[in-house]
Amino acid sequence: MTKRLACFLLAAHALPALVNAQVTALRVGHLVDPETGTASANQIILIDAGKFTAIAPNVAIPQGAEVIDLSQYYVMPGLVDAHNHLALTYKMEPENNSYYLTTVMDSTAIRAVQAVSNGITMMSSGFTVVRDLGNSANYADTALRVAIDQGWIPGPTLINSGIIIGGFGGQFYPAPERETLIYPEYLNADTPDEIVKAVRRNILYGAKVIKICVDCKPYGYTADEIKLFVSEAGKAGLKVAGHVQTHAGALKAIEAGIWSIEHSSALDDQAHKLMAEKGIWRVGTETPLSTYHAPDEGRFKRQVDGMKNAYGNHVRMAFSTDADYYIPGMTRGEVVIDFLKSWKAAAIPSPEILKIMTTNGYKVCDIYDKRGPIKVGLPADLIAVQKNPLEDIDALRDVRFVMKDGIVFKRDGIMTPEKFFHSGPVKGWRLR
Ligand SMILES: [Zn+2]
């Protein structure tokens, strides 16, 4: 680097962030606290420079503040989908595996644009945080996160994984002469050196969590190999999420102290008890029966029984969907919120589901002390609904108001993202 460039970069770094000086005041009918399962009536929330500055019943509203009337609403923290793939949208038609077609025929660029659209609809459905776990071509997920962080487009806070790392072949089964089709959907890592390199590669290109295939192939990772992922990711402060599909794989991931297990089909009472003991997150992704391309009641009942067992064993559970497909007439956000059906089928009480969709979501994303809760000092993200979600979780199906970083995104049930495009210039020059 030249000396002049170094000076320029230092100067650019020292520039103060441009912020909207105006204070926003929200008059809140009921403020829901998912952590305690309670709602407080008649609260006032002040927001300055995108952060909560006061939350109490008797706050003086400063002169010149923009006052927003939410007195008819139940206001609460934004929702979290702990497992999605915003840069993947295929049509569920098993007879022409369009999942493969998407990954082969759609460019990273078009998938990034698609991810923007999916992110916007997630926000409209109340999801202000999404953990995005791969299948994003060549880092379309990083592009989406950067665009949102820079304020170029509205969208949820993204905890993205970059490229999924797996043993030879990842989750794909290409013809021998088409071996290279695996990339960029998967990074092959079969030796300790390759594991370290793959983790570092993802971190360099913007991953905020490391996603691995624990047991997608018969030669799945050993507990020692998973431990190597955990320690290498940990150097950069990242957690490891493991796609698990066999009981043996689950036990290895648990033994290795993985952060989260993605999908639940391989998790039984034994695995749940061990996960509860070690505090390992269960990111179950249980699809509602009505979403199946070919409804399978037996499979759905097994999923629901697994949720009940995990809940009974006090496993740390996260609302998660794996919704990476298109259902005619529905947005990605609508497909995702419909997963409430699975949680209700498992007879988990509404206050618990709400806590799982908010507090637990921030924790599994490892952002709990930085973003999510409605607390003074944290970024002003919140949503509002018309009915009390502590009494009926289906209240979340009709999100009327969404605010992100203190900027109104949806009002009276209508998206109004205009202010996002006036929210300031590029917030930093390092685009990762
Ligand atoms: Zn997935």
Distance, CA 322 to ligand 1 centroid (Å)? Answer: 5
Q: Which of 14-28, 125-139, 187-201 has the least mean pLDDT?
A: 14-28
The predicted structure's pLDDT at residue 61: 96
Distance, CA 84 to ligand 1 centroid (Å)? Answer: 6
**pLDDT class of 15 with cuts at 50, 70, 90:** very low
Distance, CA 83 to ligand 1 centroid (Å)? Answer: 6
80 half-sphere exposure, CB direction, 13 A CA radius: 32
Chain-wide mean pLDDT for the chain? 92
414 pLDDT above the threshold of 70: yes
Q: What does the CA dihedral 242, 366, 198, 221 come to, rounded to 10 degrees?
A: -20
The predicted structure's pLDDT at residue 158: 98
Which conformational region is residue 423 in: left (phi greater than 0), alpha (psi within -120 to 50 degrees), or beta?
A: alpha
Distance, CA 161 to ligand 1 centroid (Å)? Answer: 11
- CATH classification (class only), 79-364: alpha beta
Q: Quick one: which of 368, 350, 364, 366 has its CA closest to 32?
A: 350
The predicted structure's pLDDT at residue 97: 67
Domain range list for the chain: 3-77+373-422, 79-364
Decide which of 431 and 87 is more confident: 87
C-alpha 293, offset from chain centre: 24
Residue 237: count other Cβ atoms within 10 Å of its Cβ: 9
Distance, CA 388 to ligand 1 centroid (Å)? Answer: 31
The predicted structure's pLDDT at residue 7: 42
Entry pTM: 0.94
17 pLDDT above the threshold of 50: no
The Cα 289–Cα 259 span in angstroms is 28
Instruction: Express each pLDDT in 266-315 by its tens digit.
Output: 999 999 999 999 999 999 999 999 988 788 999 999 999 999 999 999 99
**CATH classification of 3-77+373-422, choosing from 1.10.3720.10, 2.30.40.10, 3.40.50.970, 3.40.50.300?**
2.30.40.10
Distance, CA 217 to ligand 1 centroid (Å)? Answer: 16
Distance, CA 210 to ligand 1 centroid (Å)? Answer: 13
Which string of DSSP letters, residue by residue, matches 196-220? HHHHHHHHHTT-SSEEEESSSSTTP
Distance, CA 132 to ligand 1 centroid (Å)? Answer: 8
The Cα 328–Cα 91 span in angstroms is 9
Instruction: Express each pLDDT in 208-255 by its tens digit.
Output: 999 999 999 999 999 999 999 999 999 999 999 999 999 999 999 999
In this structure, are strands 399-404 and 407-411 parallel, antiparallel, or unpaired? antiparallel
Task: Provide, rounded to the nearest whole percent, the portion of the chain with pLDDT above 70.
Answer: 91
The Cα 104–Cα 27 span in angstroms is 50
Q: What does the CA dihedral 175, 181, 183, 185 come to, rounded to 10 degrees?
A: -90
Instruction: Express each pLDDT in 54-109 by its tens digit.
Output: 999 989 999 999 999 999 999 999 999 999 999 999 877 665 567 788 888 899 99
Residue 263: count other Cβ atoms within 10 Å of its Cβ: 20
Distance, CA 71 to ligand 1 centroid (Å)? Answer: 38
**pLDDT class of 427 with cuts at 50, 70, 90:** low
Distance, CA 164 to ligand 1 centroid (Å)? Answer: 10
Instruction: Express each pLDDT in 137-152 by its tens digit.
Output: 999 999 999 999 888 8
